[in-house]
Amino acid sequence: MKDWAYLTTVEEMEAATDSLLENGKKVGADSWQQRVKNQTPHCGFGEKGTCCRICSMGPCRITPKAPRGICGCDVHGIVGRNYLRFTAGGAATHSDHGRQICHTLYQAKEGGAYQVKDPEKLKRIAKEWDIETEGKDIYTLAHEVAEVGLMEYGKPFGVQRFLKRAPEHTQELWHKAGIEPRAIDLATKNRDALGLTSDEVAFSLTNLVSSIPREEWGTFDVLVSNPPYIPTDVMRSLPHEVKDFEPDLALEGGADGLDIFRRLLNAAPYMLRAGGLFACELYEGALDAAAELCRQAGLSDVRIVYDLTDRPRIVRAIVTEPKQRI
């Protein structure tokens, strides 16, 4: 076969390609041409109509002969639903990228691997988020901005701060339509918009585990919570960007920050099957006490887990001997 650099005509290139494919076949190499042959005849689904493959009753194809899917959804609903799912997947990827940026900013320090290169931009963002900038070291300010940014992920109340950047008329439209981007208080709407069923993702408004049916006790693999955990004395010194936007009920965890944790710990052996994981995010200063409470309750493999900013954040333990309530 000629050197590729000297191939000048289509015929020479085709001959060289055939030779290359033949040699590849001898050594077991794959090629796109072979993959095309392997896919023949091609799947014709979707060539003659809009497809929906969200649920197990499908896939369905919408055509003039069959204008609705098995669930009753027409082409407009299917296209909109597909678009929402694609958008949600892409947004989730970008959202996680933004979260990582916040973690990186939190690790910034003078002379460190990550440094603040544009203090004025940082101050502009801080002012946009109502964070006081006067008289603060730039890295102290960076850490405050990072913490406020991280609070936007999984935000339990209110709307996202970034909405202020949208035109006012757009913000008004979102508000009137009830579609302002929020966090977990729209979980049910998000589930429905994504075409997920209540069997796949179920929500229950309850006082901890009180509404869980008795027949489901001892069937869970994981019990995880981010309960109110700020000690009462610490509540007085919370930064305004937290205390001004979150109700005390969502923050205060009693004198030592462990009031709700104790109730969850008491429930864990009844809710979890053998080997089930119990995990709670808690106040840093309360983690050692929480770990000891887990050991006293008979849980095993008790650990304190650090977050991505290398701060102690979670206590986790394993239920080895489930209990049955008489």
| Contact status, residue 1 vs residue 19, Cβ threshold 8 Å | yes
Query: Band of the pLDDT at 184, cuts 50, 70, 90?
Result: very low
Cβ-Cβ contacts under 8 Å for 20 (sequence gap 6 or more) = 1
- Does residue 247 have a pLDDT over 60? yes
Domain annotation covers residue 275 = yes
Q: Compute the average pLDDT of residues 302-323.
A: 93
Question: Do 25 and 99 have their domain in common?
Answer: no
Distance CA 206, CA 71 (A): 31
Q: Give the neighbor-by-neighbor strand order of the sheet with 272-281.
A: 220-225, 272-281, 312-319, 300-306
Do 220 and 128 have their domain in common?
Answer: no
Best CA proximity match to 241, nearest among 171, 165, 149, 162: 149
In a shared domain, residues 305 and 224: yes
Q: For every residue of 259-275, which 3-state class applies, written as one string?
A: HHHHHHHHHHHHHEEEE
Please answer whether residues 250 and 228 qualify as being in contact, where contact means their C-beta atoms are separated by less than 8 angstroms.
yes
- Pair (32, 100) in one structural domain: no
Residue 65 in domain: no
Mean pLDDT taken over the chain = 83
- Within a domain: residue 301? yes
188 and 218 fall within a common domain:
no
Residue with tokens 């901890």: 208
Q: Would you call 253 exposed, middle or buried from its count of C-beta atoms within 10 A (0-12, 13-18, 19+)?
A: buried
- Minimum mean pLDDT among 77-91, 184-198, 291-305: which range? 184-198
221 plus 182 within the same structural domain: no
Residue 149 lies in a domain: yes
pLDDT for 308:
83
Q: Give the pLDDT of residue 309.
A: 82
Q: Which of 94 and 300 is assigned the larger pLDDT? A: 300
Number of compact structural domains in the chain: 3
Percent of the chain scoring above 90 in pLDDT:
30
What is d(CA 16, CA 277) in angstroms, rounded to the nearest whole number?
Answer: 60
Band of residue 241 on the pLDDT scale cut at 50, 70, 90: low
The answer to whether residues 89 and 182 belong to one domain is yes
**Helix, strand, coil proportions of the chain in percent (round to 5)?**
45, 15, 40
The mean-pLDDT minimum among 28-37, 45-54, 166-175 falls in 45-54
| Domain of 115, in residue numbers | 75-193
Q: Are residues 80 and 189 located together in one domain of the fold? A: yes
Whether 219 and 150 share a structural domain: no
User: Are 224 and 315 members of one domain?
Assistant: yes
Report the pLDDT averaged over residues 281-285. Answer: 94
Residue 147's identity, in one-letter code, is E
Least confident range from 115-119, 177-181, 301-305, 322-326: namely 177-181
Per cent of the chain over pLDDT 70 is 85
CATH code of the domain containing 274? 3.40.50.150
C-alpha span between 145 and 138 (Å, rounded): 10
- Domain for residue 163, yes or no? yes
Does residue 83 fall inside a structural domain?
yes
CATH for 125: 1.20.1270.30
Does a structural domain hold residue 55? no
Closest CA to 241 of 251, 227, 233: 251
C-alpha to C-alpha distance for 1 and 16, rounded to whole angstroms: 6
Q: Are 87 and 189 in the same domain? A: yes
pLDDT digits (tens, 9 = 90+) for 26-49: 888 888 777 777 777 766 666 667
Q: Within this chain, do residues 128 and 179 fall inside the same structural domain, yes or no?
A: yes
Q: What is the largest CA-CA distance in the chain?
A: 86
Under 8 Å CB-to-CB from 68, ≥6 apart: which residues? 62, 74
| Domain annotation covers residue 203 | no
